[in-house]
Amino acid sequence: MNIAIVFSEFNEEVTSRMLDVAKEKAKLLKLKISHTCMVPGAYDMPIIVDSLLSRKEVDAVVTLGAIIKGQTKHDEVISHAAAQALTDLSLKYKKPVSLGISGPGMQERHAYARIRPVAERAVEAVVKISQELKRIQK
């Protein structure tokens, strides 16, 4: 299975570690990472994910990001917009797109605590969804 990974530059201390964990998990699951793309933030992911999903060699996309709460509700706006756009793209292309974006409403310490579980589950999710799609399309 060929996957692409899109990760956020915003909160890079967290997301770069998420990327490392996702790569480890992909290797363990014998997945090929065909593309690794960095975008400024979670809100910026959909256009890159759209382009990747349109490629024949990409079977699924893993997204990685950390949306940390600030003094406003901006984190909620960003996370809801990103989640909806990524869901729409998954449905448009009939290919799995995982939501490996932690937040909203979390503080920085929570983001660090979620690095491994969120990144691993994001990779596992695209595999499981892909397997289920193959099973029901037979």
The one catalytic residue in 35, 74, 80, 110 is 74
Cis peptide preceding 40, ω within 30 of 0: no
**Total length of the chain:** 138
- CB under 8 Å, gap of 24 or more: what pairs does 114-119 form? 114/66, 115/14, 115/17, 115/18, 115/21, 116/21, 118/18, 118/64, 119/17, 119/18, 119/19, 119/21, 119/22, 119/25, 119/64
- The Cβ-side half-sphere exposure at 70, using a 13 Å CA radius, reads 11
Q: Is 60 left (phi over 0), alpha (psi -120 to 50) or beta?
A: beta
| Annotation says 74 is catalytic | yes
Question: Catalytic site residues?
Answer: 74
